[in-house]
Amino acid sequence: MSYGKKLRERIAGPGTTPLIGVYDMYSASIAAKHYDGMFVSGFGFAASYYGLPDIGFIAWPDMVAFVQRLRGAFPHHHLLVDIDDGYVDPEVACHVVEGLERIGASGVILEDQKRPRRCGHADGKQVLPLEEYLEKLHRVLETRGDLVVVARTDATEEDDILHRAERLAATDADVVLVDGVRSVEWIKRIREVVGSKPLLFNQIAGGKSPRLSLGELSDLGVDVAIYSTPCLFAAHEAMDSALGSLKAADGRLPEVDPAGGVGVKAATTLLERNIARDRLTPEGVGA
């Protein structure tokens, strides 16, 4: 069974499917212990790989190379990949989609923003004319084999949000995402216009959207939830705290708690899982 088909079947199952945003191989190694699906977040990748904000700096060969490393280490996990606007040109978008499917990505998200693009929860977003985006989307859909394609709109005007969501739902895209949704009421309105098409919701700490549990999202008819930055923001906070403590202790490292602290042994044990061919399967996640 293809990776796309596996993700499509997971989405069609009961409840809301969570996909956890990862930004490097270490964060993915930790996420893989707890969840069977990952989201390759543009926000996280731009931050970790370039040290830059998510405003269009990502070069597609870098993203493809990262996904290839992920698939090699995690052959049983769902991998949904953020490809922004398809890196501007439809020809490039199709080339990237072909490459990602070949190396084992489960799906991609293609947005309707125009350059300079922004994080979906940032101000100042601009969208392409709808027909121009739909042409790019249709070409991607014709190119993919069994890859899941999420059609994303970053529209901000109320009428345009609903119009675009309805038009995206009428395509052969597998899932629709309206990014930056500001309220539960708007999730309900979008769910209504999308009809039977699966709906994706993006949660990001400090973003514009409400913080909702998987149970609440399921009750609202949301089929997939991506969590773009929990690993990245947790690492930011933990590293800042650890280095502040190291500085305050005049450079003396803290003792490692043998009952569960992270030191060289715990880190090595985590990474050794990525070498074995019988590495963690979705059935064993969280065990």
* CATH number where 278 lies: 3.20.20.60
pLDDT value of position 286: 45
Q: Which of the residue ranges 12-16, 62-66, 156-160, 281-285 would you say has the lowest mean pLDDT?
A: 281-285
Q: pTM to 2 decimals?
A: 0.92
Domain that holds residue 280: 3-284
Q: How confident is the model at residue 278 (pLDDT cuts 50, 70, 90)?
A: low
| CB contact at 8 A, 39 and 19 | yes
Angle, nearest 10°, between helix axes 158-169 and 130-143?
A: 30
pLDDT digits (tens, 9 = 90+) for 160-216: 999 999 999 999 999 999 998 999 999 999 999 999 999 999 999 888 889 999 999
Q: What angle (nearest 5°) sits at the alpha carbon of residue 38, between those of residues 210 and 201?
A: 25
Contact assessment for residue 132 and residue 103, using Cβ atoms and an 8 Å cutoff: no
Percent with pLDDT over 70 in the chain: 94
More confident of the two residues 112 and 271: 112
- pLDDT for residue 258: 83
CA dihedral 254, 259, 265, 271 (to 10 degrees): -120
Residues listed for the chain: 287
Q: How many domains does the chain have?
A: 1
